[in-house]
């Protein structure tokens, strides 16, 4: 039985994970949503303008009325630099999937590993998820490395599971962690 708790403030050594506010759209657009390099391996392309980001953030802010919404902006020294969110969850199976992205200027400093570790603790210990899964395009190994560093295990690679936005086939690496893996 899950104990849904919404998206409370979470802290790590260097980061503050927090719910979005309407005014965050500008930093979100400038720092990641408008950057084609960040969205290169994602299902969505870069936002064409900040108005698109503004509308999306407004929708997300409304969504926080539901305790089953798990969506955090990642803040470092007062600047919003990324996102980490539950993209799908199943009540019966007590399982969920996570997605994340980070402003390019901050890549390679261990920040997403720090954010994911904190979110896993919250989702598994506070909410009670039994299984948390993530996946990545095999051409994006940095994301897989984050998963490995957080203790997730590779469960398999699904060949040609998706199509990239350019129409090419994507092999998808699937990772997961179970509550018993953390003990
Ligand atoms: C993937 C992403 C979240 C990683 O965030 P990050 O804060 O840079 O990750 P970390 O610094 O915690 O760890 C990255 C690891 O990948 C490794 N890495 C980087 N580029 C790599 C590559 N081309 N091949 C293999 N490993 C690579 C780094 O060396 C590091 O591992 P290490 O600590 O063992 O040296 C970030 O690059 C990003 O936002 N990318 C764009 C969006 C995206 O791809 N999201 C994920 C979709 S599944």
Give the number of other Cβ atoms within 10 Å of residue 20's Cβ.
23
Quote the pLDDT of residue 180: 95
Does the CB atom of residue 170 touch ligand 1 within 6 A?
no
The pTM of this model reads 0.98
Residue in 108, 154, 173 to alter for ligand 1 test, most ligand atoms within 8 A of Cβ: 108
Helix (H, G, I), strand (E, B) or coil at 24: helix
137 closest CA partner among 101, 94, 177, 178: 101
pLDDT of residue 106: 98
Sorted by where each begins, the domain ranges of the chain are 10-182
Q: What is the mean pLDDT of the chain?
A: 97
Local structure of residue 112 (DSSP, 8 states) = H
Residue 102 binned pLDDT confidence (cut-offs 50, 70, 90)? very high
User: Which residue matches tokens 């095999």?
Assistant: 138
Q: State pLDDT tens for residues 32-75.
A: 999 999 999 999 999 999 999 999 999 999 999 999 999 999 99
CA distance 33 to 50: 9
84, 119 contact by CB (below 8 A): yes
CB of residue 68 inside a 6 A radius of ligand 1: no
Q: 58: part of which helix (H) or strand (E)?
A: helix 50-63
115 lines ligand 1 (CB under 6 A): no
CATH class of 10-182: alpha beta
Examine the pLDDT at 183 and tell me if it is beyond 80: no
């Amino acid at each position: 039985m899950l104990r849904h708790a919404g998206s409370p403030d979470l802290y790590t050594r260097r980061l503050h994970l927090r719910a979005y506010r309407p005014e965050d759209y500008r930093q979100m657009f400038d720092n990641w949503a408008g950057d084609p390099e960040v969205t290169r391996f994602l299902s969505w392309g870069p936002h064409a303008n900040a108005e698109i980001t503004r509308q999306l953030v407004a929708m997300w802010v409304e969504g926080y009325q539901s305790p089953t919404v798990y969506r955090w902006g990642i803040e470092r020294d007062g600047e919003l630099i990324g996102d980490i969110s539950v993209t799908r969850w199943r009540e019966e199976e007590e399982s969920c999937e996570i997605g994340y992205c980070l402003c390019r200027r901050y890549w390679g400093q261990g920040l997403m590993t720090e954010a994911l570790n904190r979110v896993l603790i919250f989702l598994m210990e506070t909410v009670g998820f039994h299984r948390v899964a993530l996946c990545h395009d095999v051409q994006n190994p940095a994301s897989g490395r984050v998963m490995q560093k957080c203790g997730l295990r590779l469960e398999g690679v699904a060949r040609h599971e998706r199509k990239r936005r350019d129409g090419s086939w994507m092999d998808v690496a699937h990772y997961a962690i179970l509550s018993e893996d953390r003990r």
